[in-house]
Amino acid sequence: MFTEKDISLLKEKSITIEAVTEQIDRFKTGFEMLDVIRPATPNDGIKILNDKQKENFSNLYDNSVKKGLTVMKFVPASGAATRMFKDLYQYLDNPVSIKELPANHPIVKFLEQLPKFAFFTILQQVMKNVNLEDIETRKSKPAEIITETLNNKSLNYGNLPKGLIHFHSYPDNIIRTSMEEHLVEGSYYAVNNDNTVKIHFTVSPEHFELFQSKLSSEGSKIENKYNTKLDVSSSFQKPYTDTIAVTPDNEPFRDKEGALVFRPGGHGALIENLNEQDADIIFIKNIDNVVPERLIGDTAIYKKALGGLALSLQKAIFGYLKDLDCEINENLIEKICKFIENELFVSMPEPFKLLSISQKAEYLRKYLNRPIRVCGMVRNEGEPGGGPFWIKEKSGLESLQILESAQLDLDNPHQAEQQNKTTHFNPVDLVCSAKDYKGVKFNLTNFTDPETGFISEKSINGLPVKALELPGLWNGAMANWITLFAEVPVSTFNPVKTVNDLLRAQHQAF
């Protein structure tokens, strides 16, 4: 099946023949659907913090940082922002008079409200001979304006990652990219006791120098304003996490030169990058979910509260693990089971009751000695995002998982009904504890669920292919973590999926 040229390519990417063979087999067998029991809801998987708890957890977090707790932010920022400008590209493929488009068309909205975008001043400088302040002038030159926005000789937004798109404007002609806003946001809650804000971005190799250039030009300004020291690092998605593309008949897809074609394995591949980070608490947030500085307050408060909640769980879990190392008795076993039931909403499966004391202790030791994640959950108001669900594992244990719609069998009446009952969704707002009770970093790749990947249909040069995505970073890649969901307000979730999302009130800086 594989030629010498294929084997050479595999060696270059550090991918084994066995791994590729397993991927091809996976295309043939597919993924087994999860046993979805019910959605997680308030007090059944989702913890609701009252004002006193929010304050106490925030104080616990702040005090822990003062005592030397190390914290950092991890921001997936790979890839170009092509999808953000999908509507603009589609218009250029089929340009028509603006008068022919309905009033609510994305292009009409883009042109009518163009001066509200943070990048408007840059665009006006590029198009000096066009009065972009005049709405009729803008509507008469839609293709020209869109081309200048996307063109690599102008703003080049069509070729830049989201992290380098200008999101927000401020007085005195200050405009910030989403990357800069993450640096600013980190200065509000991710400051270590040595005044260092530690942030890691995953970037694409082709964008690395651009990220570094922006950091060099703007980083010191942020440090000076917030009296902090930025410690910014970055990494690339590992080549060995790429997955092979296959034809609709599950044969390896080859390009015009006959070479095997590989595709990025999805954001789940970033578990390898997360595994390389070293901090006691790691905040994870998407690159496009940032707000202007005037609205950071809620985000900072709830980030600290979630951090404190994670530390509270960690303290209790570490204490029980140490107790299990010293003495085992029925009282301790019962105490741990009640903690798991009351704080994690999980009941031990029926077979657990039949185990001996030593077997129960070993079971609980294994259950508790895992990475911990506390995930913010927003009330479902129609925004896209994975949902919180209870699933039944093959062992009979129920566990909390974040599932995308593709992981649900919507042809199954029960699963379709459970999706309709969801009250919350995941805005990618995670706080992670990735060290064990002895202070040793977990190998996070040992806690993934390889059975929760995706198979999707794509096209390459107009030809249909099937693509394999690894379990998502906050889905299957963290499936075997200790998980708790906590409600956060919708004000902490302000994603920019399309360029016109920047016109929402929360992205207007003043």
Structure-token pair, residue 223? 């440090």
Mean pLDDT of 78-92: 89
Domain presence at residue 508:
no
Same domain for 11 and 69, yes or no, is yes
Predicted confidence at residue 384, as pLDDT, reads 55
- SS3 category, 478: helix
The verdict on residue 505 lying in a domain is no
Q: Are residues 152 and 61 in the same domain?
A: no
Cβ atoms within 10 Å of 15's Cβ, excluding its own: 20
Q: Has residue 168 been placed in a domain?
A: no
Written as one string, the DSSP assignment of 272-310 is: HHHHT---SEEEEE-TT----GGGHHHHHHHHHHHHHHH
Burial profile 214-245: b = 16 or more Cβ within 10 angstroms, e = fewer: bbeebbeebbeebebebebebbebbeebbbbb
Same domain, 32 and 152: no
Task: For tokens 């699933």, name the residue.
Answer: 391
| Distance (Å, whole) CA 73 – CA 199 | 5
Which residues have a Cβ under 8 Å from the Cβ of 279 and sit 6 or more positions away? 70, 71, 72, 198, 434
- Tell me: pLDDT of 418 over 60: yes
pLDDT in tens, 325-348: 998 999 999 999 999 999 999 999
Residue 106 maps to a domain: yes
Are 8 and 136 within one domain?
A: no
Q: CA–CA separation, 252 vs 233, rounded Å?
A: 36
More confident residue, 386 or 165: 165
Average pLDDT, the chain: 93
For residue 97, being part of any structural domain is answered with yes
Same domain, 443 and 491: yes
In tens, the pLDDT along 493-507 reads 999 999 999 999 999
| AA identity, residue 250 | N
Q: Are 206 and 151 found together in one domain?
A: no
Question: For the segment 275-321, what is each residue's pLDDT rounded down to a tens digit?
Answer: 999 999 999 999 999 999 999 999 999 999 999 999 999 999 999 99
Beta strands in 422-487 (DSSP E): 424-425, 429-433, 454-460, 463-469, 482-487
* pLDDT at 394 (0 to 100): 85
pLDDT confidence bin for 385, thresholds 50/70/90: low
Number of domains in the chain: 2
Say if residue 80's pLDDT is above 80: no
Which whole number is the average pLDDT over 57-85?
93
In a domain, 422, yes or no: yes
Specify if 219 maps to a domain.
Answer: yes
* Stretch 410-416: mean pLDDT: 84
**pLDDT given for residue 451 in this prediction:** 85
Nearest CA to 340 out of 48, 45, 57 is that of 45
Q: What is the pLDDT of residue 450?
A: 87
My answer on whether 98 and 55 are in the same domain is no
- The H-or-E segment that residue 28 falls in is helix 17-29
Residues paired with 202 in a beta bridge: 76, 235
- Sheet bearing 36-39, strands edge to edge: 36-39, 387-392, 398-403
d(C-alpha 77, C-alpha 341), whole Å: 37
**Cβ atoms of 361 and 324 closer than 8 Å:** yes
Same domain, 105 and 18: no
Single out the residue of 387, 335, 325 nearest to residue 362, CA to CA: 325
Q: Verify that 152 and 299 share a domain, yes or no.
A: no
The CA–CA distances, whole Å, from 241 to 204, 262, 471 equal 14, 10, 11
Task: Spell out the residues 6+ positions from residue 48 whose beta carbon is closer than 8 angstroms to its own.
Answer: 42, 486, 487
Whether residue 362 lies inside any domain: the answer is: no
Q: What is the dihedral of CA 286, 172, 156, 168, to 10 degrees?
A: 30
Residue corresponding to tokens 């308030």: 42
User: What is the C-alpha separation between 385 and 387, in angstroms, rounded?
Assistant: 6
Its domain, for residue 299, covers 4-77+194-315+374-500
- Using CA atoms, how far residue 20 sits from 258, 452, 457, in Å, is 17, 17, 18
Is the pLDDT reported for residue 412 higher than 90? no
The residue out of 160, 184, 213 marking a domain boundary is 160
Q: How does DSSP assign 339-384, residue by residue?
A: HHHHHH--PPPGGGGGS-HHHHHHHHHHHHSS-EEEEEEEE-SS--
Select from 160, 186, 219 the last residue of a domain: 160
What mean pLDDT comes out for the span 351-377?
96
| Same-domain pairing of 116 and 150 | yes
Residue 194 has pLDDT above 80, yes or no: yes
Model confidence over 425-474: pLDDT tens digits? 888 899 999 999 999 999 999 999 988 888 888 888 889 999 998 888 98
Q: What is the DSSP letter of 196?
A: E
What pLDDT digit, counting tens, does each position of 101-126 carry? 999 999 999 999 999 999 999 999 99
Q: pLDDT (tens digit, 9 = 90+) per residue, 130-141?
A: 999 999 999 999
Would you state the pLDDT for residue 99? 93
Q: Return all residues near 504 (Cβ < 8 A) that are at least 6 apart.
A: 494
One-letter amino acid for residue 435 of the chain: K
In this prediction the pTM is 0.94
Question: Could you give the CA distance from residue 369 to residue 280 in angstroms, rounded to a whole number?
Answer: 15
Given the DSSP bridges, would you call strands 372-379 and 243-244 parallel, antiparallel or unpaired? unpaired
Indicate if 70 and 93 belong to the same structural domain. Answer: no
> Residues 44-69: what's their mean pLDDT?
97
* 3-state percent breakdown (helix, strand, coil) of the chain, nearest 5: 45, 20, 35
Q: What CATH number has the domain bearing residue 303?
A: 3.90.550.10
Q: Looking at the structure, tell me whether residues 231 and 116 fall in a common domain.
A: no
Q: Are 168 and 292 in contact (CB under 8 A)?
A: yes
Domain boundary among the residues 160, 182, 216 is at 160
3-class DSSP assignment, residue 163: helix
The gap from C-alpha 253 to its chain's centroid, in whole angstroms, comes to 29
**The pLDDT of residue 172 is above 90:** no
Distance CA(291)–CA(427), nearest Å, equals 14
